Amino acid sequence: MIFVWGATLAAGLLLILSPWLWPAGAVASRPASTGRIARLLEGAGYGHLPGKTLPAACAAGGIVAGAIVWLVVPVPALALVAVVIGALAPVALLRGRETGLRRRRRGMWPDVCDLLIASVRAGMALPDAVASLADSGPVALRPAFAQFGRDLAASGHFDSSAERLKSTLADPVADRIIETLRMARQVGGTELTAVLRALSTAVRADVALRAEVEARQSWIRGAAILGVVAPWVILGMLALRPEGAKAYGSAEGVVLIVAGALVSIVAFRIMVRIGRLPEPRRWFG
**What pLDDT digit, counting tens, does each position of 260-270 carry?**
888 888 888 88
DSSP the chain: -HHHHHHHHHHHHHHHTHHHHS-TTHHHHS-GGGSHHHHHHHHTT-TTS-TTHHHHHHHHHHHHHHHHHHHHS--HHHHHHHHHHHHHHHHHHHHHHHHHHHHHHHTTHHHHHHHHHHHHHTT--HHHHHHTHHHHS-GGGHHHHHHHHHHHHHH--HHHHHHHHHHHH--HHHHHHHHHHHHHHHH--TTHHHHHHHHHHHHHHHHHHHHHHHHHHHHHHHHHHHHHHHHHHHHHHHHTSHHHHHHHHSHHHHHHHHHHHHHHHHHHHHHHHHHPPPPPPPP--
Q: Residue 177's pLDDT band (boundaries 50, 70, 90)? A: confident
Read off the pLDDT of each residue in 99-119 and give the average, rounded to a whole number: 85
Average model confidence (pLDDT) across the chain: 78
Q: Residue 28's pLDDT band (boundaries 50, 70, 90)? A: very low
What pLDDT is attached to residue 174?
87
What pLDDT is attached to residue 16?
41
Read off the pLDDT of each residue in 32-42 and give the average, rounded to a whole number: 68
Say if residue 206's pLDDT is above 50.
Answer: yes
Contact 101, 44 (CB under 8 A): yes
Say if residue 246's pLDDT is above 50.
Answer: yes
> Comparing 71-75, 253-257, 275-279, which segment has the lowest mean pLDDT?
275-279
> Comparing 9-23, 28-42, 155-169, 229-243, which segment has the lowest mean pLDDT?
9-23
What pLDDT is attached to residue 22?
38
Contact 102, 214 (CB under 8 A): no
Read off the pLDDT of each residue in 111-129 and give the average, rounded to a whole number: 87
What pLDDT is attached to residue 26?
35
Q: Residue 145's pLDDT band (boundaries 50, 70, 90)? A: very high
Read off the pLDDT of each residue in 123-129 and give the average, rounded to a whole number: 86
Q: Rounded CA gap, 13 and 39, in Å?
A: 21
Read off the pLDDT of each residue in 190-202 and give the average, rounded to a whole number: 81
Q: Residue 188's pLDDT band (boundaries 50, 70, 90)? A: low
- pTM metric for this prediction: 0.60
Percent of the chain with pLDDT over 70: 86
What pLDDT is attached to residue 284?
62
